[in-house]
Amino acid sequence: VIASKAVQLANGMRQAVAETGANVRINQIGSLVAPFFTADSVESFTDATKSDLNKYAAYFMNMLEQGVYLAPAQFEAMFVSYAHTDADIENTILAAKNVLQKLVK
């Protein structure tokens, strides 16, 4: 059940990325979801270090303003839990889309 919630979140965030044209990769495994601000695939820590840390910092701050609390470092993941409702996930996806629209301008 937790992994399916993470898939829902990751797929929604991928759709937000596609709709906004942002250069972001959304990785998901099990209950972990991680956005990386790069156009390239992220399969290793070396790949992750190529991410735009300034864009992640802006994303982090803007998500806070939307009421979504994330890990402050680009190299940490979001953890989905049983406590997260479908509404929580949908609100996070909507917030991500709003923030990504702002960041690609």
Q: What are the angstrom distances between the C-alpha of 49 and each of 19, 29, 52?
A: 25, 19, 8
For residues 70 and 63, give the distance between their C-alpha atoms in angstroms, rounded to a whole number. Answer: 8
pLDDT tens for 14-56 read 999 999 999 999 999 999 999 999 999 999 999 999 999 999 9
pTM of the model: 0.93
SS3 of 42, please? Answer: coil
Q: From the CB of residue 41, how many other CB atoms can be counted at a distance below 10 Å? A: 10
- Comparing C-alpha atoms, which of 76, 11, 68 is closest to residue 48? 76
pLDDT value for 105 = 79
Above pLDDT 70, what percent of the chain?
Answer: 100
What pLDDT score was predicted for residue 29? 96
For residues 27 and 34, the answer to whether their CB atoms sit within 8 Å is yes
Which residues, other chains included, contact 74 with Cβ-Cβ below 8 Å and sequence gap of 6+?
Answer: 36, 37, 48, 51, 53, 56
